[in-house]
């Protein structure tokens, strides 16, 4: 086995990325405090051809040095929009036939391993603040609430790690429909 060089990876250009068929998934980041988390989620969105990222509330927007540190240029390839109020983002998405999925621990959640996307549907996943999570108002506006099952003592994941798990899982399920 031989490690591949950067040239051997045959990565697409930003222009090719913009033209490529996207995974019909929007990531909504609501009041995310850490710019490193924002950058890491951009990078993951790039890796799996995610349609876009909606940055809401206090979530910082590109260009920003701290976002770029972890995004490594993904802010140039992944489409993004900023909304002062997440309700405006959700309204726009619902008007465009997206199903809203909040990622939160709620009564009677749907566990990620049990969630099966419907062929032809478009989805938006809401990632909430690192301390407060997804607000109850947003949960009320959601079509689904998904939880990533956890067995340890903390019962929470870093928001960028959780987003990576969700994006990968939904990417695989949506691409295999």
What pLDDT digit, counting tens, does each position of 114-149 carry? 999 999 999 999 999 999 999 999 999 999 999 999
Rg (CA), the chain: 16
d(CA 143, CA 52): 19
So what CATH class is 27-175? alpha beta
> Is residue 45 a contact partner of residue 70, using CB atoms and an 8 Å limit?
no
What pLDDT digit, counting tens, does each position of 92-101 carry? 999 999 999 9
Helix axes 159-175, 35-47, angle to 10 degrees: 20
Q: In this predicted structure, what is the pLDDT of residue 177?
A: 58
Cα 176–Cα 145–Cα 106 angle in degrees, nearest 5: 140
What pLDDT digit, counting tens, does each position of 28-52 carry? 999 999 999 999 999 999 999 999 9
The pTM is what?
0.95
Q: List the chain domain ranges.
A: 27-175
């Amino acid at each position: 086995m031989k490690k591949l060089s950067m040239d051997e990876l045959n990565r697409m250009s930003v222009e090719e990325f913009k033209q490529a068929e996207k995974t019909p998934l929007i990531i909504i980041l609501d009041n995310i405090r850490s710019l490193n988390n924002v950058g890491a989620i951009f990078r993951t969105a790039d890796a799996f051809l995610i349609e876009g990222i909606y940055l809401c509330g206090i979530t910082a927007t590109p260009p920003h040095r701290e976002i770029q540190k972890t995004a490594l240029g993904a802010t140039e390839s992944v489409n993004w929009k900023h909304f002062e109020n997440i309700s405006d983002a959700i309204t726009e998405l619902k008007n465009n036939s997206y199903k809203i999925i909040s990622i939160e621990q709620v009564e009677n959640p749907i566990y990620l391993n049990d969630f099966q996307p419907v062929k032809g549907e478009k989805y938006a996943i809401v990632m909430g603040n690192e301390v407060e999570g997804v607000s109850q108002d947003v949960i009320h506006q959601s079509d689904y609430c998904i939880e990533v099952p956890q067995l340890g003592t903390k019962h929470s994941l870093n928001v960028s790690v959780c987003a990576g798990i969700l994006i990968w899982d939904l990417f695989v399920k949506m691409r295999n429909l």
